Amino acid sequence: MVTGTKNQACEKVCLLCQGELIGEFSAADYALFAAVLVISAGIGVYYVIKEMLASKKATADDVLMGGRDIGIFPIAMSLMASFMSAITVLGTPTEMYNNNTAYWVAGLAIIPTIITVNHVFLPFFHKMNLTSAYEYLEKRFNRATRVCASIIFMLNMLLYMGVVLYAPSLALNSVTGLSLELSIVAIGVVCTFYTALGGLKAVVWSDTFQTFVVMAGLIAVIVQGAIDLGGIGNVWSIAYNGERIKFLDWSGDPTTRHSVWSLIIGSYFGQLTIYAANQTMIQRYLAIKDPKNSQRALYINLPCTIILSTVVCIVGLVSYATYHSCDPFLLGHVRARDQLLPFLVMDKLTFLPGLSGLFVACLFSASLSSISSGLNALAIVILEDICKLIWEYKKYTPGPVYVARLAKILGLVCGAMVIGIAFVSQFLGQTVLQIITNSHNFDICLAPTNI
């Protein structure tokens, strides 16, 4: 745990010790932040207009599966974006700041995970030509098992997305003073809009755009932080002297916070539940007709995910090096440790208009990508595993246009529920990484989505 007291050194490091706001959003920051939301929503509008102009009405398969003809690159970026969230962007640097770099090793578990999924699970799902991953459970066991698993997935995803929506809203509230409630509603409405109306194609192309925004925001923090501290070498030296550089702990003690065994073995099986059994991921594999192209997309995603995990860890080291002698949390300048990174941004990046806006856009993009993927997956599961089973029981066969419209309505309803859950998340009293990890300890369908 970082320690610190209110002394003269702290006064020089943290301008807030003088009772003044360390930085504030400029017009350029607001413009850049708004542009990300507008572009994301615009992608959804594009696909809505495209659907209206098409001679053939869109079916539920077009809305929820992209017609199964989406390209390799956007799917690869969407797979990465689905894995990434504001919890990753905020939670992982906080872990580096509070403890050490051991958590980075968990990212390496993605290598055996991808290999296993690509050559065992992905060909299997393509062969079955599923829409909902839980259709397999009915074929393997019975309908009751399928429905129970679907309901667990739906509950878990709703809770998960609520926290994912809360995280960037908390950050925006801390760095701009913008109402937490307004932030939650703004991002929730935009995300629900382009997901429900634009379908999977809008989601994957929004994910692709948002992935680049996230990387740009994180790299901006690293570059400016390294410049302020005299180079990345000094960042590493300060972190090393503060005992923050520790990658391999071979301890067999189960109470050890992060051992190689728990990180590699635990993360492998945890990530396997995401990449091999989660509706969000399977939906993307099946959105490409050719299974070999699906495998290529997953392999393209592999180095990108490792790079992301490395970048967010370095951001955490920059945060520690900047405030190692003056902890803003202990000084009472931030209410939660998850606000340390936004605090750093407003302390060091506001000198150049647009940089702090880029970071907030980074947070919101990470959240948008995860929520949009989740909403789309939820709509499929509800439609395929609940609605269609009810229709089958009542011997009712709705038309394709009706089913497509229902799919969009389901997306809107789920989006509204996620916004409501986000309002509750602020009362949980933990870091976002702890909240989401603890919430998955009793879930069989979705493991922690942070590396």
Average pLDDT of the residues of the chain: 80
Across 357-365, average pLDDT: 81
Residues 342 and 385: their CA atoms lie apart, in Å, by 41
Examine the pLDDT at 52 and tell me if it is beyond 90: no
Between 28-32, 122-126, 331-335, 414-418, the lowest mean confidence (pLDDT) is in 331-335
- The amino acid that residue 13 corresponds to is V
Residue 69: beta bridge partners?
A: 288
Residues 91 and 342: their CA atoms lie apart, in Å, by 12
pLDDT at 145: 92
pLDDT at 118: 93
Confidence bin at 6 (pLDDT 50/70/90) = very low
DSSP 8-state class, residue 250: -
Residues 59 and 184: their CA atoms lie apart, in Å, by 31
Q: Are 368 and 129 contacting, i.e. CB atoms less than 8 angstroms apart?
A: no
Residues 447 and 267: their CA atoms lie apart, in Å, by 9
Across 287-293, average pLDDT: 89
First to last CA, the chain: 21
Examine the pLDDT at 451 and tell me if it is beyond 80: no
372-389 per-position pLDDT tens digit: 888 888 988 998 889 988
188-236 per-position pLDDT tens digit: 888 888 888 888 888 888 888 888 888 888 898 899 889 988 899 999 9
Over pLDDT 90: what percentage of the chain?
Answer: 12
pTM (predicted TM-score): 0.80
Per-residue CA distances from 116 to 23, 419, 442 (Å): 47, 35, 24
Per-residue CA distances from 218 to 31, 208, 358, 413 (Å): 19, 16, 9, 32
pLDDT at 297: 92
Confidence bin at 314 (pLDDT 50/70/90) = very high
The count of residues in the chain is: 451
Burial environment of residue 107 by CB neighbours within 10 A (0 to 12, 13 to 18, 19 or more): buried
pLDDT at 3: 44
Phi, psi of 382 (to 5 degrees): -65, -45
* Domain regions of the chain by residue span: 23-50+70-440
Over pLDDT 70: what percentage of the chain?
Answer: 86
Q: Which CATH architecture has domain 23-50+70-440?
A: Up-down Bundle (1.20)
- The amino acid that residue 200 corresponds to is L
55-97 per-position pLDDT tens digit: 667 777 777 777 778 889 989 888 888 767 777 787 888 888 8
